[in-house]
């Protein structure tokens, strides 16, 4: 993961409402193992985050100027330090308007992963740690906390430049509950949601359940393909990559690699060929489980609506095609 440019500026803002103080770095960070480790840790935490959204830039304007400055940097009209300094000065203005905001260290990192260029922007906090010296004395120190992210975004620069029709080249941590005190960071990036990731993911899982039913797959095969789908989707989200329907189709059936993709395309599901999966929705797809008063139920979610029917009014399940072992046990009990 070659890092082309990286810098950290500091915004010192106390929660008591006093004006923020900006400390700008004088130069980019050298390419060292320390910054590589920091960026790797930030990316790992970011990829593991649930509740992210995917979208695109608002049209450039006085309210959303970041994309314009970024374009000038890419075109060589603005240096990296000038770009990040100007952007951070704009960020501090937006931050001042949020009374509950706190400062932090603002990381800008431009790097390459595979053939794709990315820009990660994140506000990092400091935490106190205790270190043991060689003489076995202890002392406290402060370090950047890369494991806790509330404000971060990743821009796929290659997608932005080469695919003007794309609506998912930016991902960002979505403020929980839409709180105004945290929404300023989204305004700073200047992005809007372009893809309903949870909705797309739910549609994919519905298509998969329909596909399993149409193919009339044995239960063991259906479970295995469910695991393959979840494993593939989890791997993509872990590395920050979108789901590719063609890749997924090949994963599900190497002998007939286009079968699932063709089923989706001809089924009128309206899915794009590539989209970012919603991690929370994928995780919920694994199983439905419940236990109470000696009753334990667990089943694959794709069985709901086919072999298992749920009646919300009576809070009851109707199960079809019970396992043979269970049927035999019930028959023996009934005949006793």
pLDDT digits (tens, 9 = 90+) for 133-145: 888 888 887 888 8
Tokens of 2: 């070659």
pLDDT value for 283: 80
Task: Give the residue from 6, 68, 57, 13 showing the smallest Cα distance to 34.
Answer: 6
The pTM assigned to this predicted structure is 0.73
Q: Give per-residue pLDDT as tens, 58-81.
A: 998 989 999 999 999 999 999 999
Phi first, then psi, for residue 75 (nearest 5°) are -80, 0
Please report which confidence band the pLDDT of residue 286 belongs to, taking 50, 70 and 90 as the band edges. low
Tokens of 130: 């205790």
Greatest CA separation for the chain:
87
* The pLDDT of residue 299 is above 80: no
Task: Give the residue from 188, 169, 157 showing the smallest Cα distance to 54.
Answer: 169
pLDDT value for 197: 86
What percent of the chain shows pLDDT beyond 70?
94
Please report which confidence band the pLDDT of residue 118 belongs to, taking 50, 70 and 90 as the band edges. very high
- State the residue for tokens 């994919």: 204
CA pair distance 303, 309, nearest whole angstrom = 9
CB burial readout 12-25, b (16+ within 10 A) else e? ebeeeeeebebeeb
CA pair distance 184, 135, nearest whole angstrom = 47
pLDDT (mean) for 252-260: 93
Which residues make beta-bridge pairs with 65?
Answer: none
For residues 157 and 179, the model is more confident at 157
pLDDT (mean) for 116-142: 87
CA distances from 83 to 78, 184, 315 (A): 6, 19, 58
Please report which confidence band the pLDDT of residue 258 belongs to, taking 50, 70 and 90 as the band edges. very high
Cα 151 to its chain centre, rounded Å, is 13
CA pair distance 64, 190, nearest whole angstrom = 5
Please report which confidence band the pLDDT of residue 99 belongs to, taking 50, 70 and 90 as the band edges. low
H helices of the chain, where? 33-48, 66-74, 80-96, 157-162, 180-189, 197-215, 219-238, 245-252, 259-266, 279-284, 324-335
pLDDT value for 302: 61
Angle value at C-alpha 161, between 158 and 162, nearest 5 degrees: 80
* SS (HEC) of 158-211: HHHHHCCCCCCCEEEECCHHHCHHHHHHHHHHCEEEEECHHHHHHHHHHHHHHH
* The pLDDT of residue 209 is above 70: yes
pLDDT value for 217: 79
Which residue pairs, CB below 8 angstroms and at least 24 apart, start in 266-274? 267/207, 267/210, 269/203, 269/204, 269/206, 269/207, 270/203, 271/200, 271/203, 271/204, 271/207, 271/245, 272/195, 272/200, 273/244, 273/245, 273/246, 274/242, 274/243, 274/244, 274/245
* The pLDDT of residue 83 is above 60: yes
Quote the mean pLDDT of the chain: 87
Which residues make beta-bridge pairs with 131?
Answer: 139
* The pLDDT of residue 297 is above 90: no
**Sign of the CA dihedral 296, 299, 304, 309?**
negative
């Amino acid at each position: 993961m070659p890092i082309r440019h990286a810098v950290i500026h500091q915004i010192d803002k106390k929660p008591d409402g006093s004006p923020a103080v900006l400390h700008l770095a004088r130069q980019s960070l050298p390419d060292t193992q320390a910054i590589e480790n920091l960026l790797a840790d930030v990316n790992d935490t970011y990829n593991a985050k649930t509740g992210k959204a995917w979208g695109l830039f608002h049209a450039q304007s006085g309210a959303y100027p970041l994309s314009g400055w970024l374009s000038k940097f890419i075109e060589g009209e603005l240096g990296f330090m000038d770009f990040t300094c100007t952007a951070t000065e704009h960020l501090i203005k937006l931050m001042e308007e949020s009374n509950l905001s706190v400062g932090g260290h603002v990381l800008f990192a431009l790097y390459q992963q595979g053939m794709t260029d990315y820009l990660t922007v994140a506000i990092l906090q400091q935490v106190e740690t205790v270190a043991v010296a060689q003489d076995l004395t202890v002392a406290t120190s402060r370090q950047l906390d890369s494991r806790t992210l509330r404000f971060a975004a990743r821009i796929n620069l290659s997608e932005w430049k080469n695919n003007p029709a794309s609506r998912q080249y930016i991902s960002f941590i979505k403020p929980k509950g839409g709180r105004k005190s945290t929404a300023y960071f989204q305004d700073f990036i200047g992005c809007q949601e372009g893809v309903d990731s949870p909705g797309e993911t739910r549609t994919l899982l519905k298509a998969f359940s329909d596909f399993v039913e149409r193919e009339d797959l044995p239960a063991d095969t259906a479970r295995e393909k469910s695991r393959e789908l979840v494993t593939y989707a989890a791997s993509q989200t872990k590395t920050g990559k979108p789901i590719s329907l063609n890749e997924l189709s090949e994963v599900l059936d190497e002998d007939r690699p286009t079968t699932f993709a063709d089923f989706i395309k001809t089924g009128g599901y309206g899915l794009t060929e590539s989209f970012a999966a919603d991690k929370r929705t994928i995780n919920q797809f694994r199983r439905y489980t419940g236990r109470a008063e000696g009753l334990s139920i667990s089943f694959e979610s794709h069985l709901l609506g086919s072999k298992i029917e749920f009646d919300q009014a009576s809070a009851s399940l109707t199960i079809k095609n019970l396992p043979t072992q269970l049927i035999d046990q019930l028959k023996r009990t009934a005949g006793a």
